[in-house]
Chain A
């Protein structure tokens, strides 16, 4: 069985490709080749030992579907792929659109639908949570200065001011709100999201939905060390039945088909979990789940191939991940192969 995985950018803002591959390799019953699909000749995952058997450059998502499909068809002709696991947000639309054509080549994927993808989008998450009675920080969309002036009557400070795609500022008074609004508006356009600032600890859950509403597994983690970019650099699996059952409810409400990451904040005041974000793919720390006994990436491969997959019931509490960086040394030749031929 040959599996292609994207997202080999194991940088300080890592893509999930390398940990997904490590999980596949950790599955006792797996035998086959792992093919890395990469966007940049310097993606570290291409060079790491025992990760990809072979790597290919593929065109950027912005290049359109046809070039991507042609490139994958070429790779398939050489490697005979059974499954592709896209791991980056920006790829999902393209791979979802291509999934039927890939299937006709004999390549399986296990992806959410467009509707599922849209339900969890930043500007829709609040409505989704409201409909399903999940706790979510109070949230409103602002698309004009007029709306903005209503904020002081609706929220207590501090509030979080978020761009529609990226960026967030914490505002302690209306002047801050106004300044953040202007910055975000110029950078990302309208609307701007104003969100209640819930104080507390952050918890993340990695899960795998089978598409029918059931969760194959779910492992909660608390970040132990956060980099200046806000990325978890160490974390530990925790034991909280309420959090796990909340995660299962969310997967059920979405009927999510694929891996996902749920980001929560546990209110310091009430102890309730507020849902902050749903990321539509495995996180870069997914290998922690494997280490704790739930190999979710390999389960995804089996689901993609239409196999029955039992639900995981337990995981090892107190399993820790500590990420580290590692300098790989080689000569120019390896890099040259990738740059010139697009594969290595």
Chain B
């Protein structure tokens, strides 16, 4: 099972604006990025996120899996998550 650690000092607003309090950096998430990020914050596993998104959005599993990996890579490179 894959879960992710989100820094505690991270606040995401409804507009998708992200403020990493520990470093002062700011980011913008798109709509779906915001949805996923909130799931990550809530402690959802990769599998759970996958299932929720497939229910919510009109997308093929294969496409989403690839995009999700890229998104996780981006978030990790900005130090916004850590893999447990």
Contacts and interface: CB of A to CB of B under 8 A. Distances in A.
B74 interface: no
B19 A340 contact: no
Contacts, number: 16
A186 interface: no
Contacts of A335: 26
Interface in A305-344: 332, 335-336, 339-341
Contacts of A341: 15
A339 B28 contact: yes
A211 B83 CA distance: 66
Given A339-B26, A339-B28, A332 B19 contact: yes
A336 B28 CA distance: 9
A178 B28 CA distance: 48
Interface string B9-37: 00001011101000000101000000000
A332 B17 CA distance: 10
Nearest to A336: B17
A335 B19 CA distance: 11
Interface string A258-286: 00000000000000000000000000000
Contacts of A340: 15-17, 28
Interface residues of B, number: 7
A340 B18 CA distance: 10
Nearest to A333: B13
Contacts of A339: 17, 26, 28
A339 B28 CA distance: 8
A333 to B, nearest CB: 9
B31 to A, nearest CB: 12
Contacts of B26: 332, 335-336, 339
Nearest to A337: B15
A42 to B, nearest CB: 11
A299 to B, nearest CB: 41
Nearest to B15: A340
A267 to B, nearest CB: 51
Contacts of B17: 332, 336, 339-340
A332 B16 CA distance: 13
16 contacts: A332-B17, A332-B19, A332-B26, A335-B26, A336-B13, A336-B15, A336-B17, A336-B26, A339-B17, A339-B26, A339-B28, A340-B15, A340-B16, A340-B17, A340-B28, A341-B15
Given A339-B28, A340-B16, 14 more contacts: A332-B17, A332-B19, A332-B26, A335-B26, A336-B13, A336-B15, A336-B17, A336-B26, A339-B17, A339-B26, A340-B15, A340-B17, A340-B28, A341-B15
Interface of A: 332, 335-336, 339-341
